[in-house]
Amino acid sequence: MMQRDLTSLTKRELYGMARDRDISGRSSMSRSELVEALRPPPTEPHEDDNPEVEVVEDDFDVDGIGSVPLPGISPEDRAEARARRTALEDRLSQFVDQSRHCSWTSIEGHPCGLPVLAGTDRCGLHGDGSIADRPIPLTGSLGFSSWPTLWRHLTLATYDPDAFGLDPVVAEMTWSVLNRLYYDYFRVEVEGIENVPSNGGAVLVANHGGAAVPYDGAMLALAVMNEAEPPRRVRVIGTEIFNMLPFVSHLYRKVGAAYAGRDDARELLKRGHLLGVFPEGERGFMKPVWEAYRVGRLGRGGFADLAQDAGVPIVPVAIIGSEEVHPAVMVSKRLAQLVRLIFPEQRVEEIAIALNPIPLPIRWKIRFLPPVEPSGDGEPIDGLEQLERVEDVRRSIQTALDDMLAHRTTAF
Amino acid sequence: MERVLVTGAATWTGGNLIRRLSQRDDMAVFAVDDRSPRIRFDADFRKLSLDGLDLARYILEVDPTMVVHLQSVHRTSEEGRRASSEDRILGSLGLFGAIERLTSIRSVIIKSDTAIYGASPRNPSVLAETTRPQGKPSRHQRDLAEMERFIGEARKVHPETVFTTLRFAPIFGPNVGNSISRYLTLPVVPTLLGFDPRLQFIHDRDAVDALEHAIDNPIDGIFNVAADGQMYLSRMLRLGRRIPQPLPGRMFDTALRAMTRFNVPAPDHLKGLMKHGRVTDTTRMHEDFGFTPTHTCRQTVLCGYERIDTNHDAT
């Protein structure tokens, strides 16, 4: 079959294929020699082949000559993503009662008209504020079809953002857009979602990466929104740089993130939210590619202190994918100096340089590890105990990362 | 009979408060300011300079049992106009000096401002009364902080006197024309490109109510006073049907200077507010101070833009 297809091609096309497969001596081969060389290799692929090449061979499609063989997203992946998105929609629509509508009317006379949350009399926007913790699609469906309704509420400002600036409407719109990235592009697989408590606060501590864009924060939040039963919002906290950057400064709040100040974190936990923390911080974010998946120092371990004070568990999270999306080929202190010169308020130590402007389609895996409960007496922990707990968390994340990497066949 | 001395009678809040107080039989109101009041009221008004000994002498002469200090910092600092820093704070210095000598003083109510927290990217999302402000303070913020320090000194001399400090969110509503509300009600509002601050307001009537509440129920302490809820600037302008004009930093500064020319004074702390916003925690106001504003933030904004009836009774 393969043989016949190959023989029907012109020499030029065969040569192109040979170049793609990097067959040595191809330039001096005749047409028949090329056909011979291009035959599917009977031997096993070499063990030291890097995963990228392997995928190229798997996906190799003779009819598709001329198109760039992209690593990753196959039609099966796409079909699976679509199925997962539909399943999510079905699951989420149960939380909304389409038969009744919210009776709220604004003082200027705009009716609300959204369907109510199942078991209550109000919609998510005008109810008891549970929307800040439980992201339920306001119209019952998650997608572009609900955008006109959402847009109306956005422009009429029929609701208040929560104390940290979460705007449920903007958050939902972003959620539906980012789900494309989550299901179709990064094809995130989640394990151990049952370790995330379904009620009350918890601190989710994860390894950090990204070099250019903190995708891991978004993916962590989406993982809990999409997979947890019932869905919950993770309030990821970030440094003050988010407050300084134009456009980011308000968008990151509107989608539910918050500033990583001690007061904010404590207040979020007091209100029973899930707190997403990347204690490696900028150091982890700017990790060069040769240090990927080596969990660095977890900041000063303030999260252990916070969790103990609030009496909430720590859930370590291991994320595979974030540290390869923009592989940093170089880490520059000079460039950071330059940035500081232009933006003196910015506290950047070093800047990672990645060569790819678009993120690589890495297959992500997020594993939620068994929670570390706060010590029973609720007393504040001393420095040594805090260090031990931080080290425990760090080690468990590192072990999980190593395990997931060892069992991974391909990055794409 | 309570003898109440009110400074800053020519301010919007001052005028509204004195008008309210002068209708009551249980108190005699002595109003003071260095310019003529904009709002008519029926009370003993004395026009004298607020930054100097005149005010202190007058206070000793009146011998009030209660002082409501509304013009706590010089209005130049609030409006962003130039005045030497000594001038801007002398009024409060004189006033607290006089208070230290009074014998019958029962309570002192000071109007401060949430601008005391400044605006910094490192400020927490919700500012409590105990929060230490971060970043470089603006001039207005320094003045407010210094004024609040005077209170501490006066408290040492009069431990039995009640000092109530009310940190008001920007006062907004149909009956005020302070610099921030004038700026926000311009037909085209210059905003900072890429920034959408979270803002909090207090309705002008609620502000007067809060002051009256403090007069009737003297409680020692510092309280943030703001309406429930908060509002993104973009949403607020949309509610007010105002057109936002996003400008990059430098051009925004220029626009503010131009506004000052057209008699819309732009305070120097306005840029910080328009960049990082300011939302305060009002738990203490609700629980300890025992005051709940009748208007939510959204209603305040609608009232301020006269989208709903000014005397609308909030439900």
For the stretch B173-184, pLDDT in tens is 888 888 889 999
For the stretch B258-307, pLDDT in tens is 888 888 888 888 999 999 999 999 999 999 999 999 999 999 999 999 88
Question: What is the DSSP code string of B125-151?
Answer: SSB-TTPPP-SPPPHHHHHHHHHHHHH
Q: What is the DSSP letter of A286?
A: T
Residue of B130, B192, B235, B271 to mutate for A, most A C-beta atoms under 10 A: B235
Return the biggest CA–CA distance within chain A.
Answer: 82
Residues counted in chain A = 412
Instruction: Check if B184 contacts A (Cβ < 8 Å).
Output: no
Chain B: closest CA distance from residue A402 (Å): 36
Q: Flag if A244 and B312 touch (Cβ within 8 Å).
A: no
Q: Which residues pair with B57 in a beta bridge?
A: none
Q: What is the mean pLDDT of chain B?
A: 88
**Domain ranges, ordered by start, for chain A:** 2-64, 173-406
Q: For tokens 């911080």, name the residue.
A: A281
**Cα–Cα distance measured from residue B253 to residue B192, given in angstroms and rounded to the nearest whole number:** 9
Q: For tokens 């020519």, name the residue.
A: B10
| Chain A partners within 8 Å of B243 (Cβ) | none
Interface of B with A in 293-312 (CB under 8 A): 296-299, 302, 307-308, 312
Both tokens of A218, joined, read 């978004």
Q: Are A241 and A169 in contact (CB under 8 A)?
A: no
Chain A: closest CA distance from residue B16 (Å): 25
Q: Give the model's pLDDT for residue A13.
A: 78
* pLDDT bracket for residue B311 (50, 70, 90): low
Q: Are A138 and A150 in contact (CB under 8 A)?
A: yes
Both tokens of A73, joined, read 């997203």
User: Which one, of B113, B15, B4, lies nearest residue B68 by Cα?
Assistant: B4
Residues sharing a CB contact under 8 Å with residue A406, sequence separation 6 or more, in sequence order = none
The per-residue b/e assignment along B268-295, b for 16 or more CB within 10 angstroms, e otherwise, is bbbbbbbbbbbbbbbebbeeebebebeb
Chain B: closest CA distance from residue A3 (Å): 59
Q: Give the model's pLDDT for residue A178.
A: 95
Instruction: Check if B126 contacts A (Cβ < 8 Å).
Output: yes
Instruction: Choose among A108, A163, A241: nearest Cβ to B308.
Output: A108
Instruction: Check if B159 contacts A (Cβ < 8 Å).
Output: no
**Cα–Cα distance measured from residue B313 to residue B311, given in angstroms and rounded to the nearest whole number:** 6
CA angle A90, A92, A95 (to 5 degrees): 120
Q: Are A206 and A365 in contact (CB under 8 A)?
A: no
How many helices, marked H, and strands, marked E, lie in chain B?
A: 12, 13
Mean pLDDT along residues B88-105: 82
| Chain A partners within 8 Å of B124 (Cβ) | 259, 261, 263-264, 267
Architecture of the domain whose range is B2-176+201-228+279-294: 3-Layer(aba) Sandwich (3.40)
**Cα–Cα distance measured from residue B9 to residue B30, given in angstroms and rounded to the nearest whole number:** 9
Q: Residue B311: what are its φ and ψ, rounded to 5°? A: -100, 25
For the stretch B29-75, pLDDT in tens is 999 988 888 888 888 899 988 777 888 889 999 999 999 998 877 66
Q: Please check whether the domain covering A173-406 is classified as CATH 3.40.1130.
A: yes
| Chain A partners within 8 Å of B231 (Cβ) | 157, 160
Q: Give the model's pLDDT for residue A318.
A: 96
Both tokens of B170, joined, read 């920007």
Instruction: Check if B194 contacts A (Cβ < 8 Å).
Output: yes
Is B315's pLDDT higher than 80?
no
pLDDT tens series, chain A, 412 aa: 455 577 777 777 787 777 777 777 777 777 777 777 777 655 554 544 444 444 444 444 444 444 554 566 888 889 999 999 999 999 999 999 999 999 888 888 889 889 999 888 889 899 888 899 999 999 988 888 999 999 999 998 889 899 999 999 999 999 999 999 999 999 999 999 999 999 999 999 999 988 888 999 999 999 999 999 889 999 999 988 889 889 999 999 999 999 988 889 999 999 999 999 999 988 888 888 888 899 988 888 889 989 999 999 999 999 999 998 988 888 888 888 888 888 777 777 888 888 888 888 989 999 999 999 988 776 778 888 888 999 999 999 999 999 999 998 888 8
Instruction: Check if A246 contacts B (Cβ < 8 Å).
Output: yes
Q: Flag if A160 and B298 touch (Cβ within 8 Å).
A: yes
**Cα–Cα distance measured from residue B50 to residue B7, given in angstroms and rounded to the nearest whole number:** 8
Q: Flag if B125 and A259 touch (Cβ within 8 Å).
A: yes
Instruction: Check if A76 contacts B (Cβ < 8 Å).
Output: no
Chain A: closest CA distance from residue B235 (Å): 6
| Chain A partners within 8 Å of B195 (Cβ) | 246, 249-250
